[in-house]
């Protein structure tokens, strides 16, 4: 059943009864801007399988290759044009045709269930220059996503990005995509989802635009987790009909860290930022939920004294009993946010960052040509990812709607009666 928020007209579908697990993985996915695989491994648990990946970053491709050698990575560096060979950058989506991508995936147009991906988010992030489509490096990559959907003709798609893309200055980007996708026959919905509401130990909000052929207003997964009853009641206040009141509590930082295997520091993808003794002395004065403002003036660096510093979570200590703040690419650095360990006087390790992103512990992050991942590369791969558990919920919602649509279509088929 579909439940509608009457205020913003967003549809939701209950996924509490969904049979999570790989379920044969008979639904093929073309993954664009795959990153370290967060979206794809989440979709696996909803019964999808990744037929082909496109990823520009060398270390991310190494991570994908290590963990899922059966996934086909598009890395062809040679292209024939007008009878001449030329080199190209592996994973550069601008230089990949629909036909050669489908050929590698072993699929034909119309055979793909899902095209998924999030074009690099930096042009639309609230951190940075906020150039949007005018960003010369990545601002136009959403057009490549549209091109691929148009050529591949999947049954459905998921486009993901930062919340900043919803700002008025970027509204024409969303409007353009909606117009193009509707013209291709997709029903379209878009909203912002909070990962904590789906069992991720992190209060991470992301923008999602989804489309399904034959479904007028596709539904998002109804949240499975809430902070408390008050939070649940606030969420459903604009619903006339809603699922039976059943939910789990948010997964906390403490919950996530309890599940980390012992001796995780021996993993090849474990990295931790070294901090000086005077930085540790500062940490000792910061309680959970506090930040640099709890320090006496004489212990603050100049940039924290003059009042010009923007960032109320800078050099903050995580609250153990709540989901974490958004895990960004430099979440290993306590000076970049509320990233001091809740109990210890240090920053977060890459393993802890991955746990807060809900990555499974058998997923290893790699740096090409190195035995151990570098701190910067590990942080970038983890921080840029879609939390797999959130992706799992999205996959369940889309798959339930595809099932319902296909079932309805079969019911409308005429019954053929054999002649005597």
CA distance 178 to 184: 10
Lowest mean pLDDT among 99-103, 202-206, 406-410: 406-410
Neighbours of 164 (CB within 10 A): 19
pLDDT at 18: 92
Dihedrals phi, psi of 198, to nearest 5 degrees: -125, 15
Predicted confidence (pLDDT) at residue 185 exceeds the cutoff of 70: yes
Rounded to an integer, the average pLDDT of 78-102 is: 89
At CB < 8 A and 24+ separation, what contacts does 351-355 make? Answer: 351/260, 351/264, 351/265, 351/267, 351/269, 351/270, 352/256, 352/257, 352/260, 353/327, 353/378, 353/379, 353/382, 353/383, 354/269, 354/382, 355/201, 355/256, 355/257, 355/259, 355/260
pLDDT at 158: 98
CA distance 322 to 325: 9
What's the pLDDT tens digit per position in 352-384? 999 999 999 999 999 999 999 999 999 999 999
pLDDT at 167: 83
CA distance 309 to 263: 38
pLDDT at 132: 39
Residues 6 or more apart in contact with residue 346 via CB below 8 angstroms = 272, 273, 275, 280, 283, 334, 340
Coil/strand/helix, residue 92: coil
Chain centre to alpha carbon of residue 262: 27
Residues 6 or more apart in contact with residue 237 via CB below 8 angstroms = none
Classify 2-251+386-402 by CATH class.
alpha beta
Distances (CA, A) of 287 to 158, 203, 252, 255, 342: 40, 20, 17, 19, 8
Catalytic residue numbers? 121
pLDDT at 83: 79
Burial of 294 per CB tally in 10 Å (0-12, 13-18, 19+): middle
Confidence of residue 127 (pLDDT cuts 50, 70, 90): very low
Domain spans in the chain, listed from the N-terminal domain onward: 2-251+386-402
Q: Which residue has the higher pLDDT, 80 or 229?
A: 229
Predicted confidence (pLDDT) at residue 45 exceeds the cutoff of 50: yes
Predicted confidence (pLDDT) at residue 64 exceeds the cutoff of 60: yes
pLDDT at 110: 97
What's the pLDDT tens digit per position in 314-351? 999 999 999 999 999 999 999 999 999 999 999 999 99
Coil/strand/helix, residue 194: strand
CA distance 379 to 350: 6
pLDDT at 408: 79
What's the pLDDT tens digit per position in 244-293? 888 999 999 999 999 999 999 999 999 999 999 999 999 999 999 999 99
């Amino acid at each position: 059943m579909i439940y509608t928020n009457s205020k913003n007209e967003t549809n939701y579908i209950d996924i509490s009864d969904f049979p999570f697990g790989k379920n044969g993985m008979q639904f093929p996915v073309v993954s664009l801007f795959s990153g370290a695989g967060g979206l794809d491994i989440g979709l696996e648990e909803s019964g999808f399988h990744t037929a082909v990946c496109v990823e520009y970053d060398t270390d991310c491709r190494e991570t994908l290759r290590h963990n899922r050698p059966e996934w086909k990575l598009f890395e062809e560096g040679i292209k024939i044009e007008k009878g001449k060979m030329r080199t190209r950058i592996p994973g550069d989506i601008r230089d990949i045709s629909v036909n050669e991508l489908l050929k590698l995936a072993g699929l034909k147009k119309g055979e793909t269930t899902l095209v998924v991906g999030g074009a690099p988010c930096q042009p639309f992030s609230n951190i940075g220059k906020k150039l949007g489509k005018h960003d010369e490096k990545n601002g136009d990559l959403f057009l490549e996503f549209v091109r691929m959907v148009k050529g591949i003709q999947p049954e459905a798609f998921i486009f993901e990005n930062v919340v900043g893309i919803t700002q008025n200055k970027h509204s024409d980007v969303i409007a353009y995509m909606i117009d193009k996708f509707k013209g291709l026959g997709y029903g379209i919905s878009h909203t912002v989802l909070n990962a904590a509401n789906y069992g991720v130990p992190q209060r991470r909000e992301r923008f999602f635009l989804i489309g399904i052929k034959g479904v007028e207003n596709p539904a998002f997964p109804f949240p499975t987790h809430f902070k408390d009853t008050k939070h649940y009641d606030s969420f459903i206040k604009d619903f006339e009909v809603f699922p039976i009141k059943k939910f789990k509590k948010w997964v906390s930082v403490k919950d996530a860290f309890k599940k980390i295997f012992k001796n995780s520091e021996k993993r090849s993808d474990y990295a931790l930022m070294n901090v000086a003794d005077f930085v540790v002395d500062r940490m000792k004065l910061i309680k959970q939920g506090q930040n640099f403002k709890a320090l006496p003036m004489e212990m603050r660096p100049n940039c924290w004294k003059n009042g010009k510093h923007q960032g109320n979570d800078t050099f903050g200590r995580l609250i153990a009993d709540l989901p974490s703040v958004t895990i960004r690419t430099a979440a290993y650095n306590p000076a970049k946010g509320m990233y001091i360990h809740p109990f210890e006087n240090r920053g977060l390790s890459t393993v802890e960052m991955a746990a807060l992103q809900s990555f499974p512990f058998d997923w290893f992050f790699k740096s090409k040509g190195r035995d151990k991942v570098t701190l910067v590369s590990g942080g970038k791969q983890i921080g840029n990812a879609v939390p797999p558990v959130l992706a799992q919920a999205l996959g369940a919602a889309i798959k339930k709607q595809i099932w319902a649509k296909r079932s309805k279509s079969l019911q409308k088929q005429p019954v053929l009666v054999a002649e005597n």
